[in-house]
Amino acid sequence: MQVNGAWQPTIVAFCCNWCSYAGADLTGTNRLAYPANVKIIRIPCSCRLNPLFILRAFGRGADGVILCGCHPGDCHYTTGNYYARRRMTLLFSMLDFLGIERERTRVEWVSAAEGAKFAAVMNDFVRQITVLGENKRLEDFRCK
């Protein structure tokens, strides 16, 4: 994303409704700042995240995608994040195998009580993506 002629990373954060979305709300309630590059999409559970969505985001120009869910063992639906963990592990490994920067994707477990952690994670992720620069390897240039 270009802001005043300078490149700014676009970050899509998928947050599960029960823990991480609530954690992100708590970040707001506690007025803990993180960069505005992060845009949150609410999904019911981390296991709702289809790899299609991640690739779609990269294709449309996202520079980083992060999935936040309940801590393993705390899933509102009991087992959802366990499936998400396997799926993302394999998907990330595949992206790395294809030479796409491993650092562009991340999974973090953020509970509804971890507002501070949410802010810290987002600050760190944005910093990391900024260092990494623009997503070139997985963009769909027709969408630019």
Restricting to residues 57-96, name those near other proteins by CB under 8 A. Answer: 57-62, 70, 72-80, 82-83, 85-96
Query: Closest CB to other proteins among 86 and 127?
Result: 86
DSSP per-residue codes, the chain: -EETTEE---EEEEEETTTHHHHHHHHHHTT----TTEEEEEESSGGG--HHHHHHHHHTT-SEEEEEEPPTT--TTSSHHHHHHHHHHHHHHHHHHTT--GGGEEEEE--TT-HHHHHHHHHHHHHHHHHH-S--TT--GGG-
To other proteins, the closest distance from the beta carbon of 13 in angstroms equals 9
Regarding 142 and contact with other proteins (CB under 8 A), the answer is yes
To other proteins, the closest distance from the beta carbon of 50 in angstroms equals 5
Token couple for 5: 């002629």
Return the residue of 9, 68, 100, 121 that touches other proteins, per CB under 8 A.
100
What string marks each residue from 101 to 130 as x (binds other proteins by CB under 8 A) or -?
Answer: xx--xxx---xxxx----x-----------
Q: How far is Cα 101 from Cα 56, in angstroms, rounded to an integer?
A: 16
To other proteins, the closest distance from the beta carbon of 127 in angstroms equals 16
To other proteins, the closest distance from the beta carbon of 135 in angstroms equals 10
Residue ranges in 22-61 that form contacts with other proteins under rule CB under 8 A: 22, 24-29, 31-36, 39-45, 47-53, 55-61
